[in-house]
Amino acid sequence: MAYVEYRGNSLEQYEEALEKEQLASGEKPDVKKWQGETLRQEREFFQDRLDEERETLQVLRLEAEGGHKAKAQEGVVHFFEEKLRRVEHDLYV
């Protein structure tokens, strides 16, 4: 069984107007806006952590005995670079 629905009918117009009104009044959250804000916060967090980890890596490289610690720190830096890349991709797609 199937049915035909006409586009632009009065029910559809009412539902669209109601949705716009709810978005404007704040009753219904704007999902795209919320998701964009969340992704920007994630990007800022990962960028801050990446900067901190890069500084730690530089300190470990300057220390004489930081060889194996520096290698582990490179993995941490790579992890945050990947996370940052993923968030920026999701944000701008």
Compute the average pLDDT of residues 10-36.
Answer: 86
Per-residue pLDDT of 28-40, as tens digits, reads 888 888 899 999 9
Exposed/middle/buried for 8, CB within 10 Å: 0-12, 13-18, 19+? exposed
C-alpha pair distances (Å), 84 with each of 36, 43, 44, 73: 15, 6, 9, 17
Contact 83, 46 (CB under 8 A): yes
Per-residue pLDDT of 57-78, as tens digits, reads 888 888 866 678 888 889 999 9
pTM: 0.65
For the chain, which residues make up each domain, given as ranges?
Answer: 30-92
